[in-house]
Amino acid sequence: MKFAEKIVVITGAAAGIGKETVKAFANEGANVVLVDLHEEALQATAKELQLKEGQYLLVQADVSQEAQVQRYVALAKEQFGRIDVFFNNAGVEGVVQPITNYPSESLDLVIDVNIKGVFYGLKHVLRVMQEQKSGSIINMSSIAGLKGSPNVSAYIASKHAVVGLTKATAIEAAAFGVRVNAVNPSPVNTRMMRSLEAGFAPEHAEQVKEQLTATIPLGRYGESDDVANAVLYLASEQANFITGVIFPIDGGLSAT
């Protein structure tokens, strides 16, 4: 998809969908900036994926802190001179509780990471892309940004917010030749889903997975590479007339 020598910044890059997307872009010849909260996990990811020296940059950062977002953007530009693609991926699930029992500390964490982290990433990466008059941003939303679900109200609210941020920013960015889209996966086989399954029924997590799978018309959870492939498409020149799109990757779930 012509990513050779392109500069790609990915948050939440050390695990799950983020790590799979790093792998996909690196395999296409891109230079990748891996951003994550955990330094050791970043080092392990670079080693596991056999990233080549000079092809990557690791930045430990808490995306909920604006100064740390500014830092990873500045380091990416300092190292590589530009940012061509931004996968605004980092997120947390929060706890599984009815809204009447939902703890304020978990609400604060979900809002800080899933909304503020996405907002700050858009704010500071878009400044670089506006200056260079090109770029593609893909925000990580979720099927939870399109539908309701009980006992995860903070997560649902945060992913609906990402949909709104995507649409608003796409309109603002268009005049600068920058595209902004969102991906909205259904359940994907990652640590986050294991956490949510256990949260819904600690003693019956496997049954929860079976029940969720039964709601998906294609009859399975997504895999991280299903999402990574969609991110690469939206980032590519093949999607150069696509912006402001909310893109379900859900095996048909949003059609039900």
**Which amino acids are annotated catalytic?**
155
Angle CA 87–243–156, to nearest 5: 60
Distance in angstroms (rounded) separating the CA atoms of residues 5 and 239:
19
Lookup: tokens for 171: 């309109």
Kindly report the backbone phi and psi dihedral angles of residue 184, in degrees, each rounded to the nearest multiple of 5, phi listed first.
-130, 80
Q: What amino acid is encoded at 105 in this protein?
A: E
Cβ(209)–Cβ(202) under 8 Å? no
Kindly report the backbone phi and psi dihedral angles of residue 236, in degrees, each rounded to the nearest multiple of 5, phi listed first.
-85, 165
DSSP assignment of 143-206 equals GGGTS--TTBHHHHHHHHHHHHHHHHHHHHHHTTTEEEEEEEE--BSSHHHHHHHHHH-TT-HH
β-sheet with 56-60: strand ranges across: 56-60, 31-36, 7-11, 85-88, 135-140, 178-185, 246-249
Q: What amino acid is encoded at 241 in this protein?
A: F
